[in-house]
Structure 1
Amino acid sequence: MTRYASRGVHGQTVEALARRLLGGEWPEGATLDLVALQAELDVSLTALRESLKVLAAKGLVDARQRRGTFVRPRAHWNLLDPDVLRWRLAATPAGEGGDAALHRDLGEVRAIVEPAAARLAAERRDPDDLAVLEEALVAMGRAASPTEAAAADLAFHRGLLAATHNELLARMELVIESGLERRDLLVHSSAAAGDPVPQHRAVLTAVRERDADAAEALMRTLLAQAARDLDRASEQQRPHD
């Protein structure tokens, strides 16, 4: 996923505005003071307006004559947009608990989507799909850092969605990626992290053998364990009295 922050001043301005909005600094209905923001961010008014257009396209803000630019009601936000998901996660540092609700929501979405995807993958996979999944497993086993482990885990789940040969399911990777990357970095950086390869290998074996029932059940088991790992890792990160 391309980060806006890598796109120069315009992208950095988009990121700064989005994180503040999604972090709760501006409540729904609040009117933004563009003159003050321009001075604070040290950008031109044109650059600021162009950045706000990005947020408007994602349903976060709107602009009206005599009212100015304001935060739209949350019901209008495109919460499934990958950038919006990432900005929500970035607005609260990992382990502080503020992102727990979003992780829960993403976990529930995954629990609905991925077992069904594993079933379809078992029915429809081709040799190329199996090669992609095997490559991801090898990378998972060789991962020497939390970043490498997270990337390999994401590659496996992305490959599984692609193996359904359903274009709409395959695009769910954009939703899953946002939470999975953050979750994996937290878990794989924790002492609570176990070896992720065996459970992923079991799913791949079922997909390879075209055992749709087993693929679905094993994916449910894998996701349940992932949720427990996240709970333990979050607890270790949380400050204690």
Structure 2
Amino acid sequence: MIILFSPSEGKQEGGNLPPLNPESLLFPHLYPKRLEVIEQYEKLTQNGSDEQLYELFGIKDTKEYERFRNPFVSMPTMKAIERYDGVAYDYLAYSSLGKDAQNYIDTTAILFSNLFGPIRAGDSIPDYKLKQGSAIGSFVPEKHYKEYFSSALDELIADQEILDLRAGFYDKFYTPSQPYVTLKFLKEGKVVSHWAKAYRGIVLREAAKHQISSLQELLAMNIDGLNVREILEIKKKKEIVYTIV
């Protein structure tokens, strides 16, 4: 099974792994295509105006801009799954999991970075800031990565089952070419949005703890606070609808 997962706007600073290089990320042979985006990002962060950086980062405090001006060649990295710091990652609580569960996430989950594109959860990345949906100079990251990385992802996934836990925006980076499973969460009959992030983190955590390898095993899991209400099939997408109890 392959699990697709969203990144987070928040990031942990620092790191103790070597700087970014072609072997840091999934698909080393496509690293030149990542560099096309990275080089534009570094050029803009180092030379852009405050107005341009606000559009890039989505933060108004100009003092924060200095944190993201350093070239990646001089910056340490850390695992992507540890770098991201948001609601889903809080509920995933990766650091509290055992080694087997962590290894499952490192190798099974593919994250969709707004800057680096599709990466394994265990890949190492530097600290960065890029507002979701922002263009970088002439690059629209989601279009770039969809064009150049979709075939590689299809080949990697092959005939494995896909659990897509991403927010809807990240369909713009990659749409699976084979059947896949998504989740929806209802509270008192209404779809939850913000707290869906928390439940996606919880589902990933439970999947890792149980080392699931199929949809059948996913459905067999007993997840506290969630009951399966129905399963909908729309073309190649199968949607599991959970009720929050």
Fold equivalence (TM over 0.5) = no
Relative contact order (C-alpha < 8 Å, sep 6+): which is higher? 2
Which one has a larger percent strand, Structure 1 or Structure 2? 2
Kindly indicate which of the two structures has a greater share of residues assigned to helix: 1
Normalising by structure 1, what TM-score?
A: 0.28
TM-score by length of 2: 0.28
